[in-house]
Amino acid sequence: MVDVSPPQEVGHRTGILFFCISIGVLTGSPIAGALVDANNGEYTYLKLFAGVTMLSGAALVGVLCYYMRFAVDQVKAGLESAEGPTVNGNVGHFDDHSSRRDLEADQTLDDAENTKMRQL
């Protein structure tokens, strides 16, 4: 996560990750114990619970991958056509290596450099 996050957001994203993990950690053991007790010490219900939980997690990952791959691309395509020319006449294009924030930061740096040049 540190490799894909800006340094100022690493702590925030790590906290969210640990919060999401804690839900499963705190609820999994009591549920597992109750399922084993409900089946007179057998693990059949627990195995089914674990399998259903894993399948639903895999389905959620699949849905999110679809969303990230197709729905976000459509939004990006809509932004490109709506923005038109941007800094230095380049058309706004957002791919995996650039973002709106990067483009705005470049714009701010260009403005600062132009202001400094005017002062000289």
Contacts of 5 (CB under 8 A, 6+ apart): 13
Structure confidence by residue, pLDDT tens digits, 28-69: 999 999 999 999 999 999 999 999 999 999 999 999 988 888
The DSSP string of 4-46 is TS-GGGHHHHHHHHHHHHHHHHHHHHHHHHHHHHHTTT-SHHH
> Taking every pair of C-alpha atoms in the chain, what is the biggest distance, in angstroms?
84
Residue 23 contacts residue 7 (beta carbons within 8 Å): no
User: The whole model's pTM is what?
Assistant: 0.53
Structure confidence by residue, pLDDT tens digits, 64-116: 988 888 877 777 777 666 555 554 444 444 444 455 556 566 666 666 666 66
